Structure 1
Amino acid sequence: MDGVKAVDEVEAETGPRAGKTRLWDAAGGGQGVLVAIGILALTRAGQLLMIWWLGGATAEPRSIRERLLIWDGGWFLRVAMDGYPQGYTYDANGTLQGSELAFFPVYPMLIRAGAALGIEPSTAALAVAWLASIGAAIALHLLGTSLYGKRAGWALVAICCSAPASVVLSMAYSESIYIALVAGMLVAAHRRVWWAAGLLGLATALSRPTGAAAAIALAVAALLAVRESRKQAWRPLTAAAVALAGVPLFLGWVAWRVGEPSAWFKIQTAGWGTSFDFGSSTLDFLRTTLRTGDGWIPMSVALILLVALAAAGVALAQKPWLPLAVYGVIAMILVYGQAGFYHSKPRLLLPVLLTLLPAVVAASRARPRVAVLSIVAWALFGLWYGAYLVTVWPFTL
């Protein structure tokens, strides 16, 4: 279904004033937003229960709070409270190490703001992530409703927030705020609210490296708007320029702080083995895993990668709104094209959104009972899978 046509249908139902665009026109009313938040709350509560249940059977007892603060959470907290280091970090043997300079600044800044209000830093980290997940649910609902109708908005919230790596929406990770920002940016661009699109695009680009894909998508939306009407073309073009500046600004700042143009990339490679190798590491992982079947987690990650590729192909065949398609394709190239921890790839795919569209469209067109049962089955597996990763699985997400 064409995205613009869907908005016209929603506007016919909600009746916004002709010629006036607002971010909330496609929200399906306050009740629709409350339903989206309720869906999020169910997924979060269900997953916390699963973490508690699975965590009780492990040899290393940890509280739910401790499990939500592990791995990248520690890095974000150090950035928030201690700031970025002045240069490269080395171990005792003089080997370059990963450092806080690899982490983009929006989430740590919000943690620091919470701590400045007197909130304990780790509590502030979780509070920001949880509040951002509410924002993500609202933005996802707006996006799905804008493109395909109200039922699709709810389906997008349910499917995204119960995906296999959605446990990070409850953790001290930046995914919740990134999804809120990128989905909000896409909604603003689709509704032609350019001032909001530009600000959200800049914040998205300063949240994660894949914010570069979001900025390019906003540029595509701006060019489409200019092609349709050159009246006040400076608005969409300015919004795109602001968003496009985000990632280069941070990478340039890291380069200036360290004194080397490629500093950020060297830190990523030294700390996490992350480098762009045009997908050769991903292909090697898939080939080795599918041949040997060594462990069910590697096998499940391989299947997730293959299913996501197939879903993206189906989504593109359905001709989604072009900026969303551009964002999804570039984001997937960045995920599949880089070397790094294979078990982090499902988490990195979570904000792509393009891979979720076929299921979202199918759920919006199916009978309500069929759609609900299908999404519940998906959620039971996805929420359990994420809980397993932070309790039983010993490696980082």
Structure 2
Amino acid sequence: MSPAESVPEGRPEKLKRFGRLAAPAFAVYVSSMVAHLVLLALMSGPGGPGLLDRLLAWDGHLYTDIAAHGYPDSFTYGADGKPTGNNLAFFPLFPLLSRAVHTLTGLDVGIAAVVTAHLAMIAALIAVQQLMTRLYGRRTAIVALVLLAAAQPMALAFFMAYSESLFLALCAGALLAAHRKAWLTAGALALLAGLTRPAAVSIAAAITVAVAVHLYRERRLSWRPLTAVALACISTPAYLWWVGNRLHRPDAWFLIQEAGWGTHWDNGRAYVDFLRTTLTSGDGWVAVSTAVLTLGLLCATAIACRRTTWLPLIVYGCSLVVLTLGQSNFYHSKLRLLIPALVFLVPLARAIARTTNRTAAITLGAAALFGCWYGAYMLTTWHYAI
């Protein structure tokens, strides 16, 4: 070994190497953000809510309220005396980070929440890029980033004061760490995901499967993988327990979800009824497009479930799809809830990556234009929560 080869890589060299590796993720972040915001501004028109108001719409207001004032300490009731939804339905990590950004920078809490989402999105794109590169190569990874950040209908939610970008960053980071067999890191990131959204059950299942496969191959027990499973599985039940203890009722969180958003597990009955009604007699653009796009997503997910797709990624993505479509809630929120799933992007990304540069550019450009327009439409024209 030469003297030059024996010298450890210095910090400046590591930063340069990281910058080169992360450059595609930053480029996709900047271009997709600009595309989303430009279309959103064009469709907002003069005299209406500004861009910041749009990015804080719906759940964004609820997250910023938690960041500013904390959680309620009781059930809330309507004028008819029936329970209503309240902020305890929302998991704590995103508002806590938003409050931290607000405290550290002095920014308005709403701006701080948007900044938090954008920082999380940058981290998510870097993690997804590294994961997809390890699994399928650099070209497929870059295509997947464009599909993820711009082409998905409702990808705009990644750039709003919503928790989707943070959830994706933590789940993609946990999957990447598991693929590298950095078990404690994977478990810690999955634990944080469990404090971000209830759908973290999906990443807990994925980490459990990754550990099971690893232990089967190694033929011996090891405390680090088992600790990762314990960490991944503990945080979501802990928050549900905390809400139940706060309101003196074990099922308090589920009651709040049902009262506020009509959310409960129904084995997909509501989704099947929605498809049947919409595809036979529906005439609303949002309903029809949601039905068609979710069916396409299911087909892409089925195609992804093959031996060439890493099993923990299949488990994570399929679990998230099942959790989203198996619950009774607003049909027009389904596409937004599915944007962190990743798995259904794999066959599309691999197919586009095999085409010529010209074909890939035209395909991705058209898909990104549609995805950015769809999100802008849902925020400016659609009158209901996304």
TM-score range, shorter chain: over 0.9
1:124 pairs with 2:109: no
> Which position in structure 2 is the counterpart of 1:8?
none
Q: Which whole-Å deviations, capped at 9, do the CAs of 1:254-288 have from their partners, x for residues lacking one? A: 11111111111110010011111111100111111
Q: Which runs of structure 2 are paired with 1:326-365 in the superposition (5 Å)?
A: 326-365=315-354
Compared CA separation, residues 28 and 154, structure 1 to 2 (3 A): farther
SS in 1 for 2:383: coil
TM score, norm. by length of structure 1: 0.90
> Which position in structure 2 is the counterpart of 1:96?
83
CA drift at 1:40: 1.6
Shifted more, 224-233 versus 314-323: the winner is: 224-233
CA drift at 1:61: 0.7
CA drift at 1:33: 1.1
> Which position in structure 2 is the counterpart of 1:158?
146
SS in 1 for 2:198: coil
Distance of 2:24 and 2:320 partners within structure 1: 29
> Which position in structure 2 is the counterpart of 1:222?
211
1:81 pairs with 2:68: yes
1:114 pairs with 2:101: yes
Q: Does the 8 Å CA contact 2:320/2:341 hold for their aligned counterparts? A: yes
> Which position in structure 2 is the counterpart of 1:139?
127
TM score, norm. by length of structure 2: 0.93
CA drift at 1:317: 3.2
CA drift at 1:187: 0.4
Q: Which whole-Å deviations, capped at 9, do the CAs of 1:186-237 have from their partners, x for residues lacking one? A: 0000011112101101011111011011011101111111112256711111
Distance of 2:363 and 2:229 partners within structure 1: 38
1:254 pairs with 2:239: no
1:270 pairs with 2:270: no
CA drift at 1:119: 2.0
Q: Does the 8 Å CA contact 1:36/1:138 hold for their aligned counterparts? A: yes
SS in 1 for 2:187: helix
1:385 pairs with 2:374: yes
> Which position in structure 2 is the counterpart of 1:242?
231
> Which position in structure 1 is the counterpart of 2:287?
298
SS in 1 for 2:139: helix
SS in 2 for 1:210: helix
Distance of 2:221 and 2:325 partners within structure 1: 38
Distance of 2:349 and 2:173 partners within structure 1: 18
SS in 1 for 2:340: helix
Q: Does the 8 Å CA contact 1:217/1:324 hold for their aligned counterparts? A: yes
Identity across the alignment (%): 42
1:369 pairs with 2:365: no
Distance of 2:329 and 2:345 partners within structure 1: 23
CA drift at 1:140: 1.1
1:40 pairs with 2:29: yes
Distance of 1:202 and 1:273 partners within structure 2: 27
Distance of 1:146 and 1:317 partners within structure 2: 17
CA drift at 1:372: 2.0
Distance of 2:174 and 2:143 partners within structure 1: 19
> Which position in structure 2 is the counterpart of 1:149?
137
Letter in 1 for 2:282: G
1:30 pairs with 2:19: yes
1:105 pairs with 2:92: yes
Q: Does the 8 Å CA contact 1:332/1:349 hold for their aligned counterparts? A: yes
SS in 1 for 2:382: coil
Letter in 1 for 2:173: G
Q: Does the 8 Å CA contact 2:52/2:111 hold for their aligned counterparts? A: no
> Which position in structure 1 is the counterpart of 2:55?
68
SS in 2 for 1:172: coil
Q: Does the 8 Å CA contact 1:206/1:247 hold for their aligned counterparts? A: yes
Stretches of structure 2 that go unaligned for 5 or more consecutive residues are: 1-5, 7-13
Letter in 2 for 1:116: T
Q: Which whole-Å deviations, capped at 9, do the CAs of 1:66-101 have from their partners, x for residues lacking one? A: 110010011111111111111211123211000111
Distance of 2:143 and 2:232 partners within structure 1: 28
| Structure 1 runs, 4 residues or longer, greater than 4 Å off | none
CA drift at 1:126: 0.7
Q: Does the 8 Å CA contact 1:36/1:157 hold for their aligned counterparts? A: yes
CA drift at 1:108: 0.6
Stretches of structure 1 that go unaligned for 5 or more consecutive residues are: 1-16, 18-24
Q: Does the 8 Å CA contact 2:118/2:158 hold for their aligned counterparts? A: yes
Q: Which runs of structure 2 are paired with 1:272-291 in the superposition (5 Å)?
A: 272-291=261-280
CA drift at 1:327: 1.2
Aligned residues: 371
2:156 to 142, 157, 167: 167
CA RMSD across the alignment = 1.7
